[in-house]
Amino acid sequence: MSEHSDDIGGSGYSLEDLSAYLDRGRTPRIPAIERNAECQAILASMERMGRLSREIVEEQAAEPLADSWYDSIMRQVMREFRAGRDIPLARADDGTEIVVTEGALYELIRSVGDGVEGVLVGRVRLDQPEPDAPLDVRVTVSVRFGRAMTAAVDEMRDGIRSAIEQHGDLKVGRVDVTVGDVHTDEEEDE
């Protein structure tokens, strides 16, 4: 376990520890990491980033990636997957409140994007100005060249709304999906 103060989700492990754990193939199993939702979200994000990085490196092998590219991606991952604030899902008659963290919703939204053909999720932003107000979602995506953008955006928007509403009594307001980039992905074309 790391001596760093960057404790992820109360697990006692830092981002560096999670990276090393993933590099070891998640062996030996560490229950404190495997049972922690925030750690799981970060590991899933790291796996996605690793796949994307390998694809980019293969595609652009002649042009080495700058270290700053990796650093900026890791900073974004850390910003998004810190647990963040609690968003109320439901309240029982006895006053007990069920909540979900922003980090868990980020991961849910990213998993929706993983299921949409030709879409890579970039930035995710959530806004809920007041506790009982609908949750507004803003997502920036990259769409594979040749994929109809309107269809990809509609599928992403519907998937996000459905996934969030399926997981509790959370009301979803606006779901804005912005295409910020177009990419090529030869592996998806095969």
pLDDT along the chain (190 residues), means of 10: 62 83 84 85 82 64 57 63 65 76 82 89 85 87 92 95 83 92 63
Query: Residue for token digits 């868990």?
Result: 104
What is residue 156's DSSP assignment?
A: H
CA distance 40 to 124: 18
Whole-prediction pTM value? 0.55
pLDDT computed for residue 185 by the predictor:
60
pLDDT computed for residue 184 by the predictor:
81
* Homologous superfamily of domain range 87-190: Cation efflux protein, cytoplasmic domain (3.30.70.1350)
Segments of the chain assigned E as strands: 86-91, 97-101, 119-127, 135-144, 172-183
CA distance 64 to 157: 35
Domain ranges of the chain: 1-83, 87-190
Query: Residue for token digits 């009982």?
Result: 132
CA distance 26 to 145: 35
CA distance 26 to 147: 35
Q: Angle 67-81/37-59 helices, nearest 10 degrees?
A: 160
| Token duo for residue 186 | 């030869």
pLDDT computed for residue 152 by the predictor:
94
| Token duo for residue 158 | 């519907």
